[in-house]
Chain A
Amino acid sequence: MEDNGKNYLEERKLVKRWNGPIPAIATLLFTFVLFYITWWIFQDPRGWLRMYTPYVGYMYTRWWLIVLIWMVYLFNFWPFKREWVYKTHPVVKGVVLTAVSAVVLIVLIKGFFEGILGHLGLAYFDPTRLTRLPGVTEFFAIEYSALACLMFAAIASWLSPSWVVALEESPWKKLPQPAKGFSMWVVTFFLSTLVFFITMHPHMGILYYPWQYFTSIAPPWWENFADTVSGNFHVSWIMCCTVAVWLLETIWERFPFCMIKNAHIRRTTAFFGIIAIALAIHFFFYFVQELTFGPAIRGTRNEASPDWRWLHVGEMAIFLLVPALFLKFYAGNWPTKFSLPVNVLVRTVICIFSGIALYYVYYRFGHLFLGTQKGFSHPQQFPMIPTIWLINIWLVNHWFMDNWPGWKMVPKTADEMAAEEKAHEEQVADIKWNPTLGLGLGAGAAAGIALYFITLKLLPVLYKAIDMVPR
């Protein structure tokens, strides 16, 4: 049970407590109940704390996700001893680790963003400073600073896991904790800051009147390309990066980048490959909206406006992520019996259809139990709040609670770990170039392009046929 350099998630084996689908159903029910109780306590506009103001709740939801990623992916449960992680009851572990994540979250927001950054550097992170601006009410001061924090969170939610998934913790993989965790944390935080200044700071600069020409680029540099001055253009592709990272880590098993043998090339390709895949999703989902809602009209509100549509791209992408996580956490990453590429393709198809189904359920019925309003676009509603909140609950259950109550955790033996590694290596080695594979590749590529254009034709027809928002 000693820390052997491997992550806890790799060392543990989750064993079903019962046969068949009962564990998945039980755990799903448990997490849904937990979701709804916590939703009512923290977020619901009819509930207790009503943090869905919207930006305050949105910001805490996103940053909670990142704190969970830090605790597990960057710090590998440090400072908790591995023995404690192994031996403690999942419910106790869930409560303690969630409490720690909440403390980190509050220190981060109140201490770092509002206290240090807001007081000493960028006023827009600190609501008390914003209230000194003429005409800015306390409500919007809090909302604006929450917006700045959550825009930062979007970037961190992409870069933090990317360092583990794509760059494989390089070059600190062999360092012990907490040196490894802090190294990755500092670098990803630094990079997030850089990306924030380039992509989000110009948005904040024109949020205030008059435009802050001498402290930010105004109008923002992306205006003509994105057809908006809103930073939602960046929220969109960055959220797609977050989704791409987690697809790669879960249902794609780091395929296709795991086929590259040279570590440096593999890591670099994976890092930029994630961005390339994200950009493809980013542009496609925007196009999907143009084909269904109609071409965007700059300057208008709601569904027709480019700024909302870019944001909605990120929202659509998150709808894809939810089933991917379910498949990985609670369905054993089904299927596993085919070759790696076929497994990946089948899972992706499952996630696309499940994501569409979830999207339909959210817009058709979500407002009935979330305390929100019907309709695709609402100036103060963000489907990423409930979807990421659910993901957070699942992460707590899967990472901190070992899928309790449906599963129990047993440590993997050294032999089991070696066998698992070998099996994965064999699966990867099984994909070797030969003329038949090349033929398949060509045929598949042609089919993929054809599928894309068929989808373009079908989308408007399907959208008209389905009454998604209740009358």
Chain B
Amino acid sequence: MSDNKMNRKDFLKGAAIGLAGGTVAAMGLYSYSPMKKNHFPAVKRKLEDLGVCKSVKVTNISETSWFDNAVLMGDIKKAGGLLVNQYTYNWPPFGNGKGIGKGSYQEGMAKIKHLLPNRLEEAWEVIKKNCVSIDNAGGFACLIEMEAMDGKKTKYLLDTGWSFKWMDECFKREGIDKMLANNEIEALVISHEHFDHYWGLPVTLKYKPDITIYVPEGFYSEGFQFLKDCGHTGKVIVNKNGLNKIVPGFATYTFNTSIICRVFGEQSCYFNVKDKGMVSVTGCCHQGIIQFADTAFKEMKYENDKLHGIYGGLHISPFEDWDPKYDDLVISLGKYGFEKIGCNHCTGLLCARKFVEKGYPVVRGTARFRTKETTYLGNGDTITFGNV
């Protein structure tokens, strides 16, 4: 009996040591070996049919979201860093006069709500008194003109910028104000809730308050309230995570992604251009351009099975900051075979320079209207994908 007990105890001791040792050995020797690939399921492409369009032309209304990086980052530093809720920064238009990092949506909106969306000059005067770094605000917005296979052209706005003053100037410069007023623009697609893409909403609504607006899933309550407080009277469509077809040849895809300054979710646009391939038009592309390309490959069917072009912010070094992981992107992007890269905005000039050094087909700009360099497409520049 005693021997049996001893034997059982010894067996258990050995088994415990063996179990731990065997597991750890397998973990160490197998987990990063070439054999691990046998556990990955083969990629099943969904090949979702988006339809096809003839061409896409993008006009850069504004890519300069802010004019002085040091001022913006100084504000972010004072407010407490990159995780702080953007509505508390006291940036325009949500200013309560209490200083950096002490603002709130409600207090800021209470001061200007009665002036939106039509009396923007007056609203801007109020904002000037209550916000910080007013003159640093710019914004991101672009006009997308998609030509269908039957030749019919449809216009969409992607984002609506930040500063009321700057965006109104930009809209007038590119004739967007008239296009909106004449009902030439089908819809406003908001890529994500960031200040520089979304807070200039009253400028669009000033000219067309009933415009259809597509927002991505993930908006915070302030974002939805802003639509109402700005006097929007049209349809709001929340694009759920995943693929959302808009018209033949055009779809958006909402990515479930966490973003700095307490923003969540971003949608980007996919266009399947006849004889060329897939073209992506993005606001900031916080999900990453390679994620975006990989999603196209896994989910959609496109011409020649080719990723043809990119336009927009690629969110690599928006503050001219850097991280070695961005070099991973610079090194890897080449294998995706993009033929036309119209990057700007949060791609960062530093990144664009690295793309150029790497020999990627970056389309240069003209450095007008406060864009700093010709390295990438600047304000007022256009890019066309497909046969016009």
Contact = CB atoms under 8 A, between A and B. Distances in A.
Interface of A: 45-46, 50-54, 56, 135-140, 142-143, 203, 206-209, 219-220, 228-232, 256, 276-277, 279-281, 283-284, 286-287, 290-291, 294-295, 297-302, 304-308, 338-342, 344-345, 348, 371-375, 377-381, 430-431, 434, 436-449, 451-453, 456
Given A135-B320, A305-B288, A449-B23, 18 more contacts: A56-B81, A138-B77, A140-B319, A228-B328, A283-B28, A283-B31, A284-B31, A298-B328, A298-B332, A300-B288, A301-B288, A307-B325, A373-B262, A436-B10, A439-B14, A441-B18, A448-B20, A449-B22
Given A287-B36, A456-B39, A451 B23 contact: yes
A304 B292 CA distance: 11
Contacts of A283: 27-28, 31-32
Contacts of A137: 69-70, 73-74, 319-321
6 contacts: A139-B76, A230-B328, A300-B288, A437-B14, A439-B14, A452-B26
A381 B26 contact: no
Given A139-B76, A281-B27, A438-B14, A286 B32 contact: yes
A125 B163 CA distance: 37
Contact of B73 (A138, A294, A306, A378): A138
Contacts of B22: 444-449, 451-452
A33 B145 CA distance: 57
Contacts of A143: 321
A290 B10 contact: no
Contacts of B264: 373-375
Contact of A301 (B19, B77, B291, B322): B291
B217 to A, nearest CB: 8
B379 interface: no
B96 to A, nearest CB: 16
B388 interface: no
A284 B288 contact: no
Interface residues of B, number: 73
Interface stretch (B45-53, B82-90, B362-370): B82-90
A209 B350 contact: yes
Contacts of B7: 436
B294 A379 contact: no
Contact of B83 (A54, A434, A445, A448): A54
Contacts of B30: 452
The 3 closest A-B pairs by CB, nearest first: A444-B18, A448-B22, A440-B14
Interface in B57-81: 69-70, 73-74, 76-77, 79-81
Interface of B: 7, 9-28, 30-32, 36, 39-40, 69-70, 73-74, 76-77, 79-85, 101, 256-260, 262, 264, 286-291, 294, 315, 319-325, 327-333, 350, 353-354
B329 A441 contact: no
B324 A307 contact: yes
A299 B328 contact: yes
A417 B229 CA distance: 72
A307 B39 CA distance: 21
B84 A50 contact: yes
Contacts of A448: 18-26
B294 to A, nearest CB: 6
Contacts of B327: 206, 219, 229
B81 A300 contact: no
Nearest to A379: B260
A434 B13 CA distance: 11
B350 A135 contact: yes
A453 B289 CA distance: 35
Given A297-B290, A305-B328, A380-B82, A375 B19 contact: no
Contact of B10 (A52, A286, A437): A437
Given A50-B84, A137-B73, A441 B288 contact: no
Nearest to A287: B31
- Chain B contact residues, majority secondary structure: helix
B3 to A, nearest CB: 10
Contacts of A449: 22-23, 25-26
B342 to A, nearest CB: 19
B80 A444 contact: no
A283 B85 CA distance: 36
A381 B258 contact: yes
B42 to A, nearest CB: 11
Contacts of A301: 257, 286-288, 290-291, 315, 325
A304 B287 CA distance: 10
B258 A345 contact: no
B161 to A, nearest CB: 22
Contact of A342 (B16, B39, B73, B259): B16
A372 B256 CA distance: 16
A139 to B, nearest CB: 4
A65 B340 CA distance: 49
A374 B322 contact: no
**Residue among B26, B74, B288, B291 with the highest chain A CB neighbour number at 10 A:** B26
A359 to B, nearest CB: 17
A263 B12 CA distance: 27
Contacts of A379: 258, 260
Contacts of A434: 10
B193 to A, nearest CB: 12
Given A139-B76, A448-B25, A299 B331 contact: yes
Nearest to B14: A440
A449 B257 CA distance: 36
Contacts of A374: 258, 264
Nearest to A311: B325
B95 to A, nearest CB: 19
A297 B290 CA distance: 8
B248 to A, nearest CB: 29
B77 A431 contact: no
A375 B256 contact: yes
A302 B257 contact: yes
B294 A304 contact: yes
Given A50-B84, A139-B73, A375-B264, A286 B31 contact: yes
A284 B24 CA distance: 9
Contacts of B80: 45, 50, 52-53
B25 A290 contact: no
Contact of A440 (B12, B290, B321): B12
A247 B320 CA distance: 41
A253 to B, nearest CB: 13
B18 A380 contact: no
Contacts of B32: 283, 286-287
A446 B79 CA distance: 56
A339 B77 CA distance: 55
A465 B328 CA distance: 32
Contacts of B18: 440-448
Contacts of B323: 207, 230
Contacts of A142: 77
A441 B11 CA distance: 7
B15 A443 contact: yes
A437 B331 CA distance: 53
A1 to B, nearest CB: 39
Contacts of A220: 324
Contacts of B290: 297-301
A295 B41 CA distance: 10
A89 B20 CA distance: 42
